[in-house]
Amino acid sequence: MLKAENLSVYYGAYRAVADLSFEVGQAELVTFIGANGAGKSSTIRAILGLADRIEGEIWFDGQNLKNVPSHERVKMGIRIVPEGRKIFPELTVLQNLQMGAYFIKEKARFNRNLDWVSELFPILIERKNQLGHHLSGGEQQMLAIARALIGEPKLLLIDEISMGLMPIAVDKAFELIKQVNAEGMTILLVEQNAKKALTVAKRGYVLETGRIVLQDTASNLQQNPLIKKAYLGG
Amino acid sequence: MLQQVVNGIIIGSLYALIAVGLTMVYGILRILHIAHAAVFVSGAYLGLLVYTYTQSLILALILAAVGCSIFGWLIQRFLYTPLLTEARIVPLIASVGLFILCEDLFRLLGGPYIRAFKVDLWFDKLIFFDTVVTAHQCLIVIGTAACLVSVYFLINRTKLGLAWQATAQDMDTAKAMGINIKQVINFNFIIASSIAAIAGVLTAINYNSVLPTMGSVPAYKMFAIVVLGGLGSIPGTIAAGLIIGMAETIMSAYFGFIMPRDAIAFSAMILILIFRPQGLFGKGV
Ligand SMILES: Nc1ncnc2c1ncn2[C@@H]1O[C@H](COP(=O)(O)OP(=O)(O)OP(=O)(O)O)[C@@H](O)[C@H]1O
Ligand SMILES: [Mg+2]
C-alpha cells in the first residue's frame, strides 16, 4: 500500500533522512522506532508531501507520489496525527473535526463519522463548542486522533500518540490503534514509547541518524538484546 | 456633536474597509501588503471609468471589484509568491516599490489632476433634527455594512472560510489536513481586493474626487489601524477603523489646534505599540 525507495529528506543542504527504503502493506501496522532526531517525523512528513525537498520515490496505492501535492495525497486517503497535536487553537473542537473531514462532502456521512469518534472520545462532544486552545494537553491529543479518524483514513500516519497522555489514556490509545487496524486500517506508527509500539505492531524499522539500521517483525525486535538495551530500558 | 459622530462613522467605515484587506493578507502570508493602497486607488479609477460610460453605480462597483481582484491576484502570484521564502523585509520592500510605481502609473494614465466623481442618487439628504446625513453618506454606510457582512459570512459560514481560518492559524497543519493553500490564498486576495475596490469607489464618491495620490494617506493609515486592531484580526481591524475615524473627526472638530488630523492615528499606533503591542483586540502574536 505504501512503499518508499531510497527516500532522502533535506532541510536546506542538511540531509536529515538518508536512503530509506520501507514498505507498509495493506491493513498492516508498522512502527518506526528511534531516538530523538533520528528522522522519524521528517519521514512521516515526507509521505504527506510536507517536506521542503526529498529525493527518492514514494508510492501509495500503486501511484507514484512525485509531483502529487499534499492536498491530493490527503484526498487519496492519507491522514496524519501530527507530532505535537497541532490543534487549530482558535477553531472550536467541532471545527477542528470538520477540518479533519474536509473532503467528506455528504453531511450524513460526516455525522456518522462524528457519532463514531464521539463514542470513542465522549469528552470531545461535551466540549464541541470550546476553542481548541482551551482543551488540556491530553484532550488536545484525543482531538488530534479523532480529527485524523473522522476523515476515514486508508493510511493513518501517527507521530507519537502517547505524547502528553496519562498512562491509562496511553493504554486506551494503543487499544484503539489495534482495534482500527484489526478492522482493516493501514497504520504507520512513530513512537518514542518503543515498548508499547512493539506490542501492537506487526513489524518495525529501527532508525538511527536518518538511516534504517534494522528491520524485523515486532516480536523479534522485542527479543533482540540490542533493541532491549537501547530502546526498551534493559 | 451628533453630526461629528456621523461623519466619524463614515470616515471610519471607509478606513475599516481598506484595512480589513491588509489584515487578511497579513493573516495568511505574513506580508505587509502596502500595495493594497494601489489596489484601492485603481478601484477608484476603474469605478470612475465605468461610471462615466454607463452611469450605473452598481456596474461601477462590480467591475471595479472584478478588476481589482485580478490586480490583487497578479500581485500575489507574481510578486509575493516568488518572494515568500525570502526574509520578510523583502516582500515588504517589493510591496512599497510597487505602490510607488503604481502612483506614477496612475499619474501617467489618469492625469496628474483631480477628477470629479459625481454621483446623483435618488434623494439628496436626510435631516434628523439638526443632524444632516447626505445620500452619499447613506450609500457609504450601506455599502460598507454589506461588504463587512459578506466577509463575515464568507469567513465564518463557508467551508473555504473555515479553511481560511485554519490556514491563518497554522498553515503547515492546514496543509496536512488536505487544504489547498493556493486556493485559500486566491480566495483571500479576491475578497481583500474586492473590498478595497469598493472602498476606493466609495471614498472617491465621498470626496467627489479621484487623484493619483489618493492612496498615500490610506497606505500608512491602514497600517496604524491594523496595528491598533491586532495584526490579523478582522473584527479588531473593523473596530480600530471606526475608532480612528471617530477620533480623528471629533478631535479635529473640537481640539484641532492640538495636532493635525493625520497625526492622531499614529499617536494611537505608537501608544499601542508601547503599551499593548498585540493590539487592542489581538491575542498576542
Ligand atoms: N525544520 C527543520 N529545519 C532543519 N533541520 C530540521 C528541521 N526539522 C528537523 N530537523 C533535523 O532533522 C533531523 C531529524 O529530525 P526529526 O524531527 O525528523 O526527528 P525525530 O526522529 O522525529 O525526533 P523526535 O523523536 O525528537 O521527534 C534532526 O537532526 C533535526 O535537527
Ligand atoms: Mg519527531
Q: Determine whether the interchain pair B170/A86 forms a contact, defined as Cβ–Cβ distance below 8 Å.
A: yes
pLDDT score at A163: 81
Is the whole-model pTM more than 0.90? yes
The residue written with cell numbers 470626496 in the block is B207
Residue A101 dihedral angles phi and psi, to the nearest 5°: -115, 35
Q: How remote is the CA of residue B197 from the centroid of ligand 1, in Å?
A: 45
A182, burial (CB in 10 Å: exposed 0-12, middle 13-18, buried 19+):
exposed
Helix axes B159-169 and A93-100, enclosed angle (nearest 10): 100
Phi, psi for B143 (deg, rounded to 5): -60, -45
Residue range A24-73, pLDDT digits in tens: 999 999 999 998 999 999 999 999 999 989 999 999 999 999 999 999 99
Residues B78, B76: Cα–Cα separation, whole Å: 6
pLDDT at A2: 97
CB atoms within 10 A of CB B26: 20
Question: What are the cell numbers at B189?
Answer: 486576495
Least confident of A112-121, A203-212, B92-101, B122-131: B122-131
Cβ neighbours of A151 in B, within 8 Å: 178
CA distances, A203 to each of A5, A31, A170 (Å): 18, 6, 20
Sign of the C-alpha dihedral computed for residues B229, B235, B238 and B242 taken in this order? negative
- Chain A positions touching chain B (beta carbons under 8 Å): 48, 50, 69-71, 73-75, 80, 82, 86, 88-91, 95, 98-100, 102-103, 147, 151
pLDDT in the model for residue B20? 95
**3-state secondary structure (DSSP) of residue A12:** coil
> What is d(CA A173, CA A145) in angstroms, rounded to the nearest whole number?
9
Task: Indicate if ligand 1 lies below 6 Å from the C-beta of A11.
Answer: yes
Whether residue B97 has pLDDT greater than 60: yes
The tens digit of pLDDT for each residue in B179-210 reads 999 999 999 999 999 999 999 999 999 999 99
ipTM given for this complex: 0.93
CA–CA separation, B277 and B285 (whole Å): 9
Q: What is the pLDDT of residue B284?
A: 45
Q: Determine whether the shortest distance from the Cβ of A34 to ligand 1 is under 6 A.
A: yes
Domain count, chain A: 1
Indicate the helix (H) or strand (E) that contains A11: strand A2-11
Say which of A50, A90, A100 has its CB closest to residue B165. Answer: A90
What was the pLDDT predicted at A192? Answer: 83
Minimum CA–CA partner of B165 in chain A: A91
On the question of pLDDT at B273 being above 90, the answer is no
Question: Which of B162, B163, B177 is closest to A74 using CA atoms?
Answer: B177
Whether the CB-CB separation of A96 and A139 falls below 8 Å is answered with: no
Averaged pLDDT for residues B47-52: 96
Predicted pLDDT of residue B120: 83
Please give the grid coordinates belonging to residue B146. Answer: 454589506
Q: How far apart are CA A231 and CA B262, in angstroms?
A: 65
Q: Are B198 and B143 in contact (CB under 8 A)?
A: yes
Mean pLDDT on B168-182: 96
Q: What per-residue confidence (pLDDT) applies to B250?
A: 84
Residue-level pLDDT at B253: 82
Q: Say if the Cβ atoms of B166 and A86 lie within 8 Å.
A: no
Counting from 1 in the atom list of ligand 1, the atom nearest the Cα of A190 is 22
Q: Angle at CA B43, nearest 5°, toward B42 and B48?
A: 100
Average pLDDT, chain B: 90
pLDDT of residue B282: 63
Contact at CB, B169 and A103, closer than 8 angstroms: no
Where does the pLDDT of residue B285 fall: very low under 50, low under 70, confident under 90, or very high at 90 and above?
A: very low
pLDDT at site A177? 94
The count of C-alpha atoms lying within 13 angstroms of the C-alpha of B198, restricted to the half-sphere facing its C-beta, is 28
For chain A, give the mean pLDDT: 94
Q: What is the CATH number of the domain that holds A180?
A: 3.40.50.300
**Which of B173, B183, B234, B281 is most worth mutating to test chain A (most A CB atoms within 10 A of its CB)?**
B173
pLDDT band at B230 (very low <50, low <70, confident <90, very high): confident
CB A86 within 8 A of CB B177: no
Percentage with pLDDT > 90 across chain B: 69
Pick B261 or B38 by higher pLDDT: B38
Whether the Cβ atoms of residue A86 and residue A144 lie closer than 8 Å to each other: yes
Range list of β-strands (E), A42-185: 53-60, 63-64, 78-81, 155-159
Which SS3 state, helix, strand or coil, does residue B171 take?
helix
**Which amino acid belongs to residue B235?**
P
pLDDT at A85: 93
Distance, first Cα to last Cα, chain A: 34
Domain with A9 in it:
2-231
B61 and B121 Cβ atoms separated by less than 8 Å? no
